[in-house]
């Protein structure tokens, strides 16, 4: 078994562990547990295409539609050499709870192509995308399954997908995907939405915990789309971001990193390598540095039983998917460290994707401040509900979030019944 496969199975296993803990609180019967731990549909197909050189190749495409109880499935498409059925199934499972916890009328899905996009030209990527979309025409759509960008896919990839689908059904269907360019039905505020959601949740929880935002020290692991926008928004709210990182390493400045300078450096060099605005330290060391709030916004499984006991943050807001192992989560609970889980902490992106889908169906588009106001309302309404459940049941915010999400899906399933 490859290391990628081991990782994927581990992620799914951890998701099931969190699910089971919440299901126990809900006293969910065994039949409902069996239904909710099996995907509705798994699709695997070949993607033959011709390289620019004339050579033919065949890649493998996947789409897993995990649950439709609350509405059409929703989930991204990733292009990566490590894409497997296990990984895509785990992520579709996770998307089901992410959509439910913020009360969106969606189920969960995920898709991908096993390929290395760094070796492909733009025209080759377009051909792969169009063939991928064509294979899924019968099972995706605004009322069936709505893809979005994910790892190594972009607004341009979504535009090709939308155009292919629209050509096949002989009408313009912008609502078949989200994360599109503004010019063809994208939503204002979508690019910043996940990072903005992290900041909204963090600031609200900081207030609850009496952490003064103007004096708070923030550490952000990852300076991609999520991390950089979260850093920018924290700085705008007067918080002191003391450390940032990317694949080149971490950069620590006790007095506060100049985020504008970091953004300019990353835009120019596409990396923080060489950034002079902080002391260069290791990524692992950064996670254990002194801070009030820690935002993992890069990799999965960064908090484990080995390092959780050394984390100094009072609050962790998960901007990435699956950064905390169940063992680390238990240690954080024992140590009194509050964790806003990934299904809540990084739900800003899928929430604004829902707004985009709704705007496409209406043919009427909101101003950016309207998008941001609606996003804050959705996130805080549901974060406050999670907090009430946690207080009432004596549970962590993670268990409370899964409890809320599972309960919403179960209610929908029971009302609809099982068609047999």
The reply to whether 261 and 321 lie within a common domain is yes
CA pair distance 67, 104, nearest whole angstrom: 13
CA dist., res. 89 & res. 94, Å (int): 9
**In this structure, are 129 and 43 located in the same domain?**
yes
Residue 299 has what pLDDT? Answer: 80
Q: Is residue 364 part of a domain?
A: no
Token pair, residue 141, equals 């759509």
Q: Which of 58, 92, 82, 118 is nearest to 2 (CA)?
A: 82
The pLDDT of residue 3: 38
Q: Which two tokens stand for residue 65?
A: 């539609």
Q: Is residue 407 pLDDT above 50, yes or no?
A: yes
Please check the confidence at residue 1 and state whether its pLDDT lies above 70.
Answer: no
81 shares its domain with 135: yes
Fill in the DSSP letter of residue 279: E
pLDDT digits (tens, 9 = 90+) for 135-167: 999 999 999 999 999 989 999 999 999 999 999
What mean pLDDT comes out for the span 206-217?
95
Q: Is the pLDDT of residue 258 over 70?
A: yes
Q: Residue 250 CA to chain centroid, in angstroms?
A: 22
pLDDT attached to residue 331: 97
Same-domain pairing of 126 and 201 = no
Band of pLDDT at residue 4, cut at 50, 70 and 90: very low
CA atoms of 257 and 115, how far apart (whole Å): 37
Count the domains in the chain.
2
> Can you give the pLDDT at residue 336?
96
Say how far residue 107 (Cα) sits from the centre of its chain: 15
Three-class secondary structure of residue 282 per DSSP: coil
> Are 156 and 218 contained in the same domain?
no
> Does one domain contain both 57 and 122?
yes
Could you read off the pLDDT of 332-348 as tens digits, one per residue?
Answer: 999 999 999 999 999 99
Q: How confident is the model at residue 6 (pLDDT cuts 50, 70, 90)?
A: very low
Other Cβ atoms less than 10 A from the Cβ of 291: the count is 24
Where a domain ends, among 340, 360, 390? 340
Do both 160 and 241 map to the same domain?
Answer: no
Q: Phi and psi (nearest 5°) for 200?
A: -60, -50
DSSP structure class, residue 308: G
Residue 198: exposure state from Cβ atoms within 10 A (0-12, 13-18, ≥19) = buried
- Asked whether residue 213 falls in the same domain as residue 290, the answer is yes
For all residues of the chain together, what is the average pLDDT?
94
Query: Which one has a higher pLDDT value, 264 or 17?
Result: 264
Q: How far apart are CA 203 and CA 183, in angstroms?
A: 33
What is the side-by-side strand order in the sheet with 279-281?
279-281, 249-252, 240-246, 217-221, 293-296, 315-317, 338-340
Residue 103 is predicted with a pLDDT of: 98
pTM score, two decimals?
A: 0.93
Same domain, 222 and 131: no
Inside any domain, residue 361 = no
Looking at residues 80-97, what average pLDDT do you find? Answer: 92
Point out the domain boundary residue: 292, 322, 340.
Answer: 340
The span from the CA of 395 to the CA of 403, in Å, is 10
- Reported as a single tens digit per residue, the pLDDT across 10-65 is 566 777 888 998 999 999 999 999 999 999 999 999 999 999 999 999 999 999 99
pLDDT at 31: 92
Closest C-alpha among 410, 342, 399, 347 to residue 37: 410
In a domain, 277, yes or no: yes
* CA 197/CA 385 separation, integer angstroms: 16
Is 409 inside a domain boundary? Answer: no
Q: What is the DSSP string of 134-163?
A: HHHTTT-BTTTEEEEE-TT--HHHHHHHHH
Look at strands 217-221 and 240-246 and give their pairing: parallel
The boundaries of the domain holding residue 48 are: 3-20+38-176
What does the alpha-carbon distance between residue 186 and residue 22 come to, in Å, rounded to a whole number?
35
Which among 99, 76, 86, 105 has a CA at the least distance from the CA of 42?
86
Q: How far apart, in whole angstroms, are the C-alpha atoms of residue 357 and residue 79?
A: 23
Write the CATH number for 109: 3.40.50.10860
Judge contact between 110 and 93, C-beta under 8 A: no
Percent helix, strand and coil across the chain, each rounded to 5?
Answer: 50, 20, 30
Asked if 228 and 311 sit in the same domain, the reply is yes
Between the alpha carbon of residue 117 and those of residues 49, 77, 78, 121, 122, the distances in Å are 14, 13, 10, 8, 9
DSSP code string of 75-118 = EEEEEETT--HHHHHHHHHHHHHHHHHTT-S-EEEEEEEES-GG
Residue 389 is assigned to a structural domain of this protein: no
Residue 185 lies in a domain: no
CATH of the domain at 292: 3.40.50.720
Distance CA 21, CA 403 (A): 9
pLDDT in tens, 278-293: 999 999 999 999 999 9
Residues forming beta bridges with residue 75, ordered by sequence position: 147
Domain boundary (122, 148, 176) is at: 176
Q: Are residues 330 and 201 in the same domain?
A: yes
Q: Say if 16 falls within a structural domain.
A: yes
Same domain, 170 and 205: no
Q: Give phi and psi for 259, each to the nearest 5.
A: -70, -35
User: Is 360 a domain residue?
Assistant: no
Smallest Cα–Cα separation from 73: which of 159, 3, 143? 143
Q: Is 110 a catalytic residue?
A: yes
List 74, 110, 232, 240, catalytic entry:
110
Strands 217-221, 249-252: pairing kind: unpaired
């Amino acid at each position: 078994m490859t290391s990628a496969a081991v990782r994927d199975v581990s992620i799914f296993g951890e998701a099931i562990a969190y699910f089971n803990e919440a299901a126990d609180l809900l006293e969910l019967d065994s039949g409902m547990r069996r239904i909710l731990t099996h995907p509705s549909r798994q699709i695997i197909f070949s993607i033959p295409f011709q390289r620019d050189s004339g050579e033919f190749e065949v890649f493998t495409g996947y789409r897993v539609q995990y649950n439709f109880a609350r509405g059409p499935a929703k989930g991204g498409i990733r292009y990566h050499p490590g894409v497997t059925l296990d990984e895509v199934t785990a992520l579709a499972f996770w998307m089901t709870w992410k959509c439910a916890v913020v009360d969106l009328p969606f189920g969960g899905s995920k898709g991908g192509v096993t390929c290395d996009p760094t070796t492909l030209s733009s025209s080759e990527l377009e051909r792969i995308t169009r063939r991928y979309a064509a294979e899924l025409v019968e099972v995706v759509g605004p009322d069936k399954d709505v893809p979005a960008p994910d790892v190594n896919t972009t607004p341009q990839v979504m535009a090709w997908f939308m155009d292919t689908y629209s050509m096949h059904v002989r009408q313009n269907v912008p609502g078949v995907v989200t994360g599109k360019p503004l010019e063809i039905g994208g939503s204002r505020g979508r690019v910043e939405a996940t990072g903005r959601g992290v900041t909204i949740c963090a600031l609200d929880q900081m207030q609850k915990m009496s952490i003064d935002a103007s004096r708070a020290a923030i550490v952000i692991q990852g300076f991609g789309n999520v991390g950089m926008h979260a850093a920018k928004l924290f700085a705008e709210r007067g918080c002191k971001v003391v450390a940032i990182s990317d694949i080149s390493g971490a950069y620590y400045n006790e007095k506060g990193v100049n985020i504008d300078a970091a953004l300019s450096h990353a835009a120019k060099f596409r990396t923080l390598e060489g950034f002079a605005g902080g002391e260069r330290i290791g990524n692992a060391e950064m996670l254990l540095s002194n801070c009030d709030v820690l935002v993992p916004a890069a990799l999965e499984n960064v908090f484990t039983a080995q390092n959780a006991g050394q984390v100094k943050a009072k609050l962790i807001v998960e901007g990435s998917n699956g950064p905390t192992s169940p063992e680390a989560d238990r240690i954080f609970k024992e140590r009194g460290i509050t964790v806003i889980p990934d299904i809540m902490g990084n739900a800003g992106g899928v929430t604004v994707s829902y707004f985009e889908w709704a705007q496409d169906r209406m043919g009427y588009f909101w101003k950016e401040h309207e998008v941001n106001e609606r996003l804050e309302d959705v996130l805080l309404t549901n974060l406050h509900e999670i907090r009430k459940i946690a207080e009432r049941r004596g549970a962590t915010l993670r268990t409370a979030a899964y409890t809320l999400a599972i309960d919403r899906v179960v209610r929908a399933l029971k009302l609809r019944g099982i068609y047999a």
